Amino acid sequence: MIRILTQERLLGASLGVVLTGVVLLEQRKYIYSSISNSQTHSQVREPIFGKKTSEFAHSWNKAVDQTFGPLIKSFS
């Protein structure tokens, strides 16, 4: 009885590993093909939310650098 349960668990685990591997490989193929397609059609795209988003991101990064800069310097 224990041997059968062990075999079932091993079979389930191996099937799970195979299924996960197949899914990961398919996702990688999709990602690589989408990257290569985007590089062949490289066009300069405007940001979705325009220039204000990049200005906000720059301001945010600058504020974080000013706030945590001394702390980071003290660690290094």
pLDDT of residue 1: 76
- Domain ranges in the chain are 1-45, 47-76
Higher pLDDT, 38 or 65: 65
Query: For residue 12, what are the CA distances in angstroms to 52, 55, 75?
Result: 52, 52, 48
- Spatial neighbors of 53 by CB under 8 A, at least 6 apart, are 47
Query: For residue 64, what are the CA distances in angstroms to 1, 42, 59?
Result: 61, 32, 9
Q: Are 7 and 1 in contact (CB under 8 A)?
A: no
pLDDT of residue 40: 63
- Whether 36 shows a pLDDT value over 80: the answer reads no
pLDDT of residue 51: 65
**What is the DSSP code (8-state) at residue 41?**
T
> pTM above 0.75?
no
